[in-house]
Amino acid sequence: MKRFNSANTSSTPQNIFGLFVTRTYWLQPDFWLACIAAALFWSAFILLGLSPASEIVFPMPGSTLLLLIIVFPILEEIVFRGLIQESIHRLLSHNGFPTLFFWRISSANVLASLFFSASHLWTQPMLWALATVIPSLIFGYFKDKYQSLQPSIVLHIFYNLGFYLFL
């Protein structure tokens, strides 16, 4: 797969500690659509009466907000999108396997998202762990599109903030 990049990049990304920093994703409709999708995702769980509060194991309450909203999204994006998704993409393209799964969702994104969901089985019931697949695909899409972890980290923080507020 030819790695796609936004045609509307108005600035050159800067490399800071191996993370490309770009702000062009804020200007793209698909970024805002992903934010709306987050609100729909939370609303669907509320309408279905699926409250995770009693089922999910959280760390001590004082540290929950900082961990859930800031630390976990950054670490998870570095591990799952920065390391795992990139490694899978390199492995597939190096060995001649098709790297495009569907539309602009890469095979590496799909595999990294499955690993991401499986990692949530440690602290969440199966339904909640499986529910992380769709947001993970969205985060991976933005990682592939902009070749940067910044948009996926911002979206992950936004998704987790909404998750925390709706608990």
Residue pLDDT tens, the chain, 167 long: 445 544 444 455 565 554 666 667 878 899 999 999 988 888 887 788 776 555 555 555 667 778 888 999 999 999 999 999 999 999 998 888 877 777 789 999 999 999 999 999 988 888 888 989 999 999 999 999 988 899 999 999 999 888 877 76
Lookup result for tokens 């899978």 = 88
What pLDDT, on the 0 to 100 scale, is given for residue 151? 93
Q: Among candidates 150, 156, 123, which has minimal Cα distance to 137?
A: 156
Residue 103, judged by CB atoms within 10 A of its CB (0-12, 13-18, 19+), counts as: exposed
Give the per-residue pLDDT at 154. Answer: 93
- Give the separation between CA 110 and CA 99, rounded to whole angstroms: 10
In Å, what is the CA distance from 67 to each residue of 31, 59, 74, 85, 144? 24, 8, 10, 23, 25
- 136 within 8 A of 128, measured Cβ to Cβ: no
Using CA atoms, how far residue 1 sits from 28, 86, 92, 105, 108, in Å, is 22, 13, 10, 10, 11
Identify whether the C-beta of residue 159 lies closer than 8 Å to the C-beta of residue 76.
Answer: no
